[in-house]
Amino acid sequence: MSLKLYFAPGACSFVPHSMLELSGVEFEPHGVKLHKNEQRSPEYLAINPRGQVPVLVDGDQVVTQIVAILLHLDARLPQAGILPASGEARTRALQTLTWMNNTVHPTFTHVFMPEKFTDDEAARQAIRAYAAKTYRGLLGEIELLAEKASPWMTGEQPGALDAYALTLLRWGGFAGIDPTTLPATWALAQRFAALPPVARAVERERLTLNVYKPAA
């Protein structure tokens, strides 16, 4: 098995990054520095013309988009417990995963990069403020799920939902949301980050879990 993951520190690529570490499989982690526009380099665009992370290279196959990557890894590494194997538990996990990816994640994009949606500065400020308020509500929905974790969001084994919950909660700090005000998710994120395999991904990405800074 020849696996290579292109990731950017702190991005959603942390989810497959941590899953690969948890699986115990050998893989080649390749950091992409977004602040240096490495995702726009000719070399990277040759791999993913959209210039996005993550990208998984599995032998001759290139897989993009986080949900597709997680499903690919789940099929290749069933022992990793990335998602429940079957039945209602799998269906519910997929519901939550796709919601995190198609609703919660894009809402944060409106907070962090409003320039993607308008070139009017006043409109950008309005988009950012409204999206931050909406994002707080979405994190509240994740909090309800985290309260039911036993001990992980899909049961006895940590998986993709825990990694995505950590990522989305961490981003909340950039939206002015103190993660400790969501105690169940905050406890889940700390527990997940403390797992030795996950800690390797955290260290490699040099992540600080709580990036919230109170307004002066």
- As a three-state string, the secondary structure of 172-193 is HHHHCCCHHHCHHHHHHHHHHH
Long-range contacts of 112-118 (CB under 8 A, 24+ apart): 112/171, 112/174, 112/175
Q: Kind of pairing, strands 28-31 and 3-7?
A: parallel
pLDDT for 214 = 85
The mean pLDDT values, 10 residues at a time, for the chain of 216 residues are 92 97 96 91 93 95 97 95 95 98 97 92 95 97 97 96 98 96 98 98 97 85
Question: Whole-model pTM?
Answer: 0.95
pLDDT for 1 = 61
CB crowding 100-138: b at 16 or more within 10 Å, else e:
bbeebbebbebbbebeeeeeeeeebeebbeebbebbbeb
pLDDT for 210 = 96
pLDDT one-digit tens code per residue, 109-145: 999 999 999 999 999 999 999 999 999 999 999 999 9
